[in-house]
Amino acid sequence: MSVLTNVAVVVGATVAIYFGSGWLEGASERLSTYYGLPLVVQGAVVAAVGSSFPELATVVVAALAGSFNLGVGGIVGSAIFNVLVIPAVAGIATPEDVEASRTLVYKEAQFYMIAVSAMVITFALAVIYVPAAGLRGTVTRELAAIPLALYGLYLFTQWADTAEHQPEDPPEQISVVTQWGLLVLGLATILVAIEGMVHALRSIGHTYDASEFLLGITVLAAATSLPDTLVSVRAARADRHVTSLANVLGSNTFDLLVAIPVGVLIAGAATIDFAVAVPMLGFLTLATVILFALLRTDLSLSTPEAYGLLVTYALFVCWMVGEVLGLIDAVPGA
């Protein structure tokens, strides 16, 4: 296909992801309310997993297509977008400060920072024990079990919160069968859209000899992060600030600890370039520390702080553009 055709596929797939994710997230939210889950669990698990399904589908489709680096780039780029852009947009879209909570800051944010460290350790173990050429390593199914086990611990902590929660009576007007149908329809739409987008981006990368990882961390990441943006902004406008922020951290935790390992499990093994992945994960760690520090101050995110997050993301995009144009060489092999 021509470049223009591939661009049209990417745009069309982005629109399909937007609508499919809307059905998926709306159904997930209503089902969460129906089953009486607490707000933090709604944001950190149900809404997060639902809005992160595009990223999961990206890694799976990319791994099956032999472009695992494209999928990993999409995950890391989406995580950076989620941490810097989504809280900022939610903060700007609401007239008051976005309120956090001690549970969010001390449990969700810190567990997410542990998740980032776990991925760095997993990639490092791949380079040490299953080395490839240069600073490359092969992530095997055994290594992929490490982050999955950590996510199991995360689910256990959320289950403990759910067990202690006293739910309100579920609304009678919710049709459970209809909501489950919308959820399945959203999943199917996202899968088809992601498959088309991954193949289109691979074709564009081959045409311009661009790094799959950098394509994933910019274009693919922004497209798949639309659902997370929709969920968080909508929650913030409804004065559900904790759910809004918990969705961001929960989505990133899911992406790192589940989406990437699942891609490895399906592909059998995947080679990762440590020299490319670590600088990106390092910036993700920096972005997470910045968000953590802002949320810890008065347990809220003010409008000026929100604009500061946007400026930080703009600097990141400039860095990536410089890497693609060859003006900056801070990411070896990119």
Domain coordinates in residue numbering, the chain: 3-164+177-325
**229-241: pLDDT as tens digits:** 776 777 777 777 7
CA distance 245 to 105: 10
CA distance 80 to 84: 6
pLDDT at 147 over 90: yes
Q: What is the DSSP letter of 210?
A: -
CA distance 214 to 311: 20
Mean pLDDT for the stretch of residues 253-271: 86
Helix intervals (H) in 171-273: 176-208, 212-215, 221-224, 226-237, 241-254, 260-267
- Determine the pLDDT at residue 38: 63
CA distance 24 to 237: 19
Q: How far is CA 195 from CA 198, 207, 208, 276, in A?
A: 5, 19, 20, 24
**Residue with structure tokens 């299953």?**
130
Identity at 233, one-letter amino acid code: V
Q: Which pair of tokens denotes residue 198? A: 């991954």
Percent of the chain with pLDDT over 90: 14
pLDDT at 323 over 60: yes
Measure CA 10 to chain center.
Answer: 18
Q: What is the mean pLDDT of the chain?
A: 81
Q: Flag the least confident range among 135-139, 211-215, 276-280.
A: 211-215
Q: Residue 112: helix, strand or coil by DSSP?
A: helix
How many Cα neighbours within 13 Å face the side chain of 26?
14
Mean pLDDT for the stretch of residues 31-58: 68
Mean pLDDT for the stretch of residues 159-164: 65
Q: Which pair of tokens denotes residue 40? A: 């933090």
Fold of the 3-164+177-325 domain? A middle domain of Talin 1 (1.20.1420)
pLDDT at 167 over 60: no
pLDDT at 78 over 80: yes
